[in-house]
Amino acid sequence: MTPATSLFSPVEADLHILADNLKKLVGNDHPILSLAAEHLFGAGGKRIRPAIVLLVSRATMLQDDITPRHRRLAEITEMIHTASLVHDDVVDESETRRGVDTVHSLFGNRVAVLAGDFLFAQASWYLANLDNLDVVKLLSQVIMDLATGEILQGVNRFEVDISMDTYLQKTYYKTATLFANSSKAAGVLSEVSEETAETLYEYGRNLGLAFQIVDDIFDFTSSADALGKPAGSDLKDGHLTAPVIYALEEKPELKKLIEQEFEESGDLEKALALIEDTKCFERSRDLAAYHAKLAVEHIVQLPSSPTRQTLIDMADYVLSRLN
């Protein structure tokens, strides 16, 4: 599997600048919030979302260097993503994320909620200062979508009749909207045509869906150490993802275990064993591959360049994480 870090070599220098700027953007006016931000941004991570923004920026600015506004958009994208993670961890009562202590486990729920709000507010302020109304609308839509996705996930907990369409809609709101709208926003800043901007949106949307479907497979197939949380955590919390939806078609007896919310000892383990005994992971991978293929079909419409090739390779990377 190609590591994300080597995949992003065309924008490696840009990502170093981004990492330095993220901490500066939060500022030192609020010591606790600054400490929380230092913890969040210091934790590193793959920076996939801002990397895609920077790659799209360079792929659409072939004759010129990217502008400070492109860089700021990448930073805003990571701030929005990070803010959403802070809130998600409070809602899910997660003590760790990818093996790192969450903000609320270190500072308490009150600070965590405020830290997430603060990052959203900061992102919105810097967004407004880009002085591009179309970009403001695109990224503001992301913030609304993230909240909508969290609500949709909450109201569908332990809902065994959830359809694949509803799952994909929730997945778009919670994950793919940021991929889609930030990719399009990068193109808007590059002053691409409306048609190209929509192509970039569809690339991001399908890549984001593929990315999350793969993550949802990982929730069952990866070790607790790799996940930073127990395997099957989403199912235990009542969040039915693609593998479970497919497994329910093959194992109707799963339905009762989920409906009773694993109230009896051993119920979750029984459910996991049933899921393991289906073709749900293979079918989920096929679903992810379908969306990855759609992403590539849209991005190949850009002029040929090393950065366009990296965006194409991103689709392979997303799927290769399962190998």
Report the candidate in 70, 69, 66, 78 with the shortest Cα–Cα distance to residue 26.
Answer: 78
What six digits make up the tokens of 52?
A: 């895609």
Q: Is 154 helix (H, G, I), strand (E, B) or coil?
A: helix
pLDDT at residue 249, rounded to an integer: 97
List residues bridging with 97 in a β-sheet. 100
CATH no., domain 4-321: 1.10.600.10
pLDDT in tens, the chain (323 residues): 456 667 898 999 999 899 888 877 776 666 676 666 666 666 556 789 999 999 999 999 998 899 999 999 999 999 999 888 887 777 666 666 656 677 767 767 787 788 888 889 989 999 999 999 999 999 999 999 999 999 999 999 999 999 999 999 999 999 999 999 999 999 999 999 999 999 999 999 999 999 999 999 999 998 655 555 667 889 999 999 999 999 999 999 999 999 999 999 999 999 999 999 999 999 999 999 999 999 999 999 999 999 999 999 999 999 998 87
Three-state SS string over 198-218 comes to HHHHHHHHHHHHHHHHHHHHH
pLDDT at residue 205, rounded to an integer: 98
Neighbours of 46 (CB within 10 A): 15
Domains of the chain by residue range: 4-321
Q: Give one DSSP letter per residue of 46-71, joined into a string.
A: --HHHHHHHHHHHHT-TTSPPPHHHH
What does the alpha-carbon distance between residue 53 and residue 73 come to, in Å, rounded to a whole number?
Answer: 7
Report the candidate in 225, 230, 233 with the shortest Cα–Cα distance to residue 99.
Answer: 225
What does the alpha-carbon distance between residue 102 and residue 40 come to, in Å, rounded to a whole number?
Answer: 8
